[in-house]
């Protein structure tokens, strides 16, 4: 039995009309239709008069849909600037997408519904009472993808629909009866699809080829196919290489899916992956309201619909970034991240950019609003960040830092390390998680007292001189994100570059040599080492504060704290050696 045979059987079972009308409705040729009829009779699904048999009725009971699993754990990072609403809860025609899906399932008698939730899971709680659904909690949604989410419901795949929560169905895709296991695709071609539908309605893996049929994420599983997917889920979900994989990986065998493809015509399954897709589907949706979009519209004097190609970029440690286009030109909007306005003085940042204007050092500001902390810059398509493991990149970046310092630019505020430590401790508003914090704090203060005895220049320093803030655009280099910039000892920028790159001592020495053209005094070397220790301590406090705001930087906090401890010892050892 192939897919065509099952479709012919479904047509006969669902329609009280003569065969000629069914042939026309099927879109198959008369010869192919009759071929399937003959096979259905041979297999006992139809009698000699082409009527449904008891075998068909038994089969339909075995294959009948009984439940659904809705996958709703993801963070929806591509929905920028919408970031406080799960995609499942987006309003289309004043109705959450997931509620429409649940109602469509109810229409065909499916009441056993499981929803795998993760990001903002509290927003789904009301569905338990309203629709008697069951929530399954994915606590690893930030680290893993839909394969892991579905594995949490792998024991519920028998006779089940798998449904993504971010697809809006214009017409009900679910049925009272299903005749085979399938995966839904559109006739539209998308570059990020990995399957193509062939003439036999098989879904062939197309890998790196130029596009495939748009994948809807909707599927139906029963029988051996459901068992096979369950086995794959239980196996794959334990392997780290599948952490970021979609659940569709469990459907492949020998470069094709082992379930049939179901073609979902037109916009019957409308995926909402991005802000603009929601805008296209429902231009009046209340969830389209956005301060960021309003700001861009106001600054450029354009209608909101003229803001296109909207997408989020990798979030930095302090801010969020959104890429967009107006009149064919690409831009980047920076907005403050959680708790950053307590750390950053945006008016001081604006002063820095004013001093940098025309110096060929930084990114190009289009507009900046210190009151909001918003900043719009040109977006460079061909830009890449400095690779801190590539010493040619590192050399260019450190020389760019030296170029900045040699300009001896001046602003009216400074970066005082003692004040910053105290300020971040106040913001943290709790004791440190490190058991020896007070002891290390005393040692850091000792290093600051030592630095006060050494001669220091005061010039505009970047402070946040991480390798990711050095952009290479063809032959040019630009240093971006100046929000921490202030007057300070330029040695601190060298130290900051090194600790952000997670350099060991040999690598730090190499960076110091580049900055000083290999003519490094012992005083300069010990100053950089001291700043490595003090800066590591400073950023460990900063990280703990951000953690209290719900932002987790993994092992970054520990690494910075280790710099404080290890380089304090190193500086003390060098000072002792210098005394003898």
Alpha carbons 319 and 83: distance in angstroms, whole number: 14
Residue 276 near residue 311, CB atoms below 8 Å: no
**Nearest-CA neighbor of 525 among 481, 494, 569?**
494
DSSP β-ladder status, 252-253 and 167-169:
unpaired
Report whether pLDDT(580) > 50: no
Residue 135 near residue 153, CB atoms below 8 Å: no
Q: Give the CA count within 13 Å in the CB-facing half-sphere of 279.
A: 18
For residue 26, the cross-strand partners are: none
Report whether pLDDT(226) > 90: yes
> Comparing 10-14, 60-64, 93-97, which segment has the lowest mean pLDDT?
10-14
Please name the helix (run of DSSP H) or strand (run of DSSP E) that holds residue 514, with its range, or none. helix 505-515
**Mean pLDDT of all residues in the chain?**
92
Q: What is the DSSP letter of 361?
A: S
Residue 536 near residue 564, CB atoms below 8 Å: yes
> Comparing 18-22, 67-71, 211-215, 429-433, which segment has the lowest mean pLDDT?
18-22
DSSP β-ladder status, 182-190 and 256-264:
parallel
Tell me what pLDDT residue 189 has.
Answer: 87
For range 383-406, the mean pLDDT: 96
Predicted confidence (pLDDT) per residue in 247-297, tens digit: 999 999 989 999 999 988 766 899 999 999 999 999 999 999 999 999 999
What does the angle CA 94 – CA 175 – CA 228 come to, to the nearest 5 degrees? 110
Neighbours of 269 (CB within 10 A): 22
Tell me what pLDDT residue 104 has.
Answer: 97
For residue 18, give both structure tokens.
């003569």
> Comparing 208-212, 460-464, 552-556, which segment has the lowest mean pLDDT?
208-212
- C-alpha torsion 82→87→92→98, nearest 10: -160
**Nearest-CA neighbor of 163 among 76, 98, 118, 223?**
98
Report whether pLDDT(340) > 90: no
Predicted confidence (pLDDT) per residue in 28-57, tens digit: 889 999 999 999 999 999 998 889 999 999
Tell me what pLDDT residue 328 has.
Answer: 93
For tokens 């296109």, what's the residue?
A: 308
Predicted confidence (pLDDT) per residue in 107-126, tens digit: 999 999 999 999 999 999 99
**Greater confidence, 345 or 16?**
345
Report whether pLDDT(522) > 70: yes
**Greater confidence, 77 or 385?**
385
Q: SS3 string of 525-569?
A: HHHHHHHHHHHHHHHHHHHHHHHHCCCCCCCHHHHHHHHHHHHHH
Predicted confidence (pLDDT) per residue in 168-178, tens digit: 999 999 999 99
Residue 563 near residue 533, CB atoms below 8 Å: yes
Report whether pLDDT(16) > 80: no
Tell me what pLDDT residue 316 has.
Answer: 57
**Nearest-CA neighbor of 493 among 373, 370, 403?**
403
How many helices (H) and strands (E) would you count in the chain? 18, 24
Report whether pLDDT(579) > 70: no
Alpha carbons 389 and 410: distance in angstroms, whole number: 32
What's the order of all strands across the beta sheet hosting 329-336? 307-312, 319-326, 329-336, 374-378, 365-369
Please name the helix (run of DSSP H) or strand (run of DSSP E) that holds residue 351, with its range, or none. helix 346-356
Report whether pLDDT(228) > 90: yes
**Nearest-CA neighbor of 485 among 418, 378, 410?**
410
Q: How confident is the model at residue 81 (pLDDT cuts 50, 70, 90)?
A: very high
For range 537-544, the mean pLDDT: 94
Alpha carbons 22 and 299: distance in angstroms, whole number: 59
Phi, psi of 422 (to 5 degrees): -65, -40
Alpha carbons 406 and 116: distance in angstroms, whole number: 56
Report whether pLDDT(162) > 90: yes
Tell me what pLDDT residue 235 has.
Answer: 96
Q: How confident is the model at residue 550 (pLDDT cuts 50, 70, 90)?
A: confident
**Nearest-CA neighbor of 73 among 156, 151, 155, 139?**
139
Alpha carbons 456 and 561: distance in angstroms, whole number: 25
Report whether pLDDT(318) > 70: no
* Max CA separation in the chain (angstroms): 109
Q: Give the CA count within 13 Å in the CB-facing half-sphere of 2.
A: 11
Please state, for a pLDDT cut of 90, what percent of the chain lies above it: 79
Alpha carbons 510 and 31: distance in angstroms, whole number: 77
């Amino acid at each position: 039995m192939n897919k065509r045979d099952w479709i012919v059987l479904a047509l006969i079972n669902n329609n009280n009309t003569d065969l000629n009308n069914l042939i026309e409705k099927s879109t198959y040729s008369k010869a192919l239709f009759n071929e399937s009829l003959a096979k259905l009779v041979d297999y006992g699904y139809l009698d000699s008069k082409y009527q449904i048999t008891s075998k068909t009725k038994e089969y339909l009971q075995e294959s009948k849909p009984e439940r659904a699993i809705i996958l709703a754990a993801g963070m929806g990072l591509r929905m920028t600037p919408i970031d406080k609403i799960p995609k499942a809860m987006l309003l289309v025609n004043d109705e959450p997408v997931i509620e429409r899906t649940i109602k469509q399932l109810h229409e065909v008698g499916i009441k056993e519904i499981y929803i795998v939730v993760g990001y903002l899971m509290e927003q789904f709680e009301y569905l338990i009472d309203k629709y008697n659904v069951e929530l399954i909690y994915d606590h690893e949604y930030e680290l893993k993808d839909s394969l892991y989410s579905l594995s949490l419901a792998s024991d519920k795949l028998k006779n089940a629909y798998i449904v993504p929560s971010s697809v809006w169905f214009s017409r009900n895709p679910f049925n009272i009866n299903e005749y085979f296991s399938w995966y839904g695709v559109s006739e539209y071609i998308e570059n990020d699809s990995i399957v193509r539908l062939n003439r036999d309605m098989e879904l062939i893996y197309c890998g790196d080829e130029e596009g495939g049929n748009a994948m809807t994420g909707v599927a139906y599983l029963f029988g051996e196919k459901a068992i096979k997917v369950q086995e794959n889920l239980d196996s794959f979900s334990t392997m780290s290489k599948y952490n970021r994989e979609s659940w569709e990986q469990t459907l492949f065998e020998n470069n094709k899916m082992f379930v049939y493809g179901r073609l979902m015509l037109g916009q019957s399954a409308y995926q909402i992956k991005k802000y603009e897709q929601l805008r296209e589907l429902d231009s009046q949706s209340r969830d389209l309201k956005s301060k960021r979009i309003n700001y861009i519209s106001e600054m450029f004097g354009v209608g909101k619909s003229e803001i296109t190609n909207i997408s989020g970029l990798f979030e930095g440690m302090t801010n969020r970034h959104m890429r967009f286009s107006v009149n064919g030109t690409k831009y980047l909007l920076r907005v403050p991240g959680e708790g950053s306005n307590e750390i950053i003085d945006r008016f001081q940042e604006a002063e820095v950019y004013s001093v940098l204007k025309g110096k060929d050092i930084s990114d190009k500001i289009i507009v900046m609003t210190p009151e909001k902390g918003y900043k719009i810059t040109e977006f460079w398509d061909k830009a890449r960040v400095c690779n801190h493991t590539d010493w040619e990149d590192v050399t260019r970046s450190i020389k760019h830092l030296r170029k900045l310092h040699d300009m001896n630019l001046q602003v009216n505020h400074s970066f005082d390390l003692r004040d910053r430590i105290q300020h971040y401790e106040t913001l943290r508003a709790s004791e440190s998680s490190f058991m020896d914090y007070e002891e290390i704090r005393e040692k850091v203060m000792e290093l600051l007292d030592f630095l006060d005895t050494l001669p220091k220049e005061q010039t505009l320093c970047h402070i946040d001189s991480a390798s990711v803030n050095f952009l290479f655009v063809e032959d040019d280099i630009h240093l971006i994100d100046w929000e921490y910039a202030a007057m300070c000892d330029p040695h601190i920028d060298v130290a900051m570059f090194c600790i952000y790159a997670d350099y060991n001592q040999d690598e730090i020495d190499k960076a110091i040599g580049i900055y000083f053209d290999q003519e490094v005094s012992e005083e300069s070397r010990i100053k950089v080492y001291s700043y490595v220790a003090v800066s590591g301590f400073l950023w460990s406090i900063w990280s703990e504060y951000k953690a209290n705001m719900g932002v987790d930087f993994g092992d970054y906090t520990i690494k910075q704290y280790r710099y404080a401890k290890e380089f304090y010892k190193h500086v003390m050892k060098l000072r002792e050696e210098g005394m003898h």
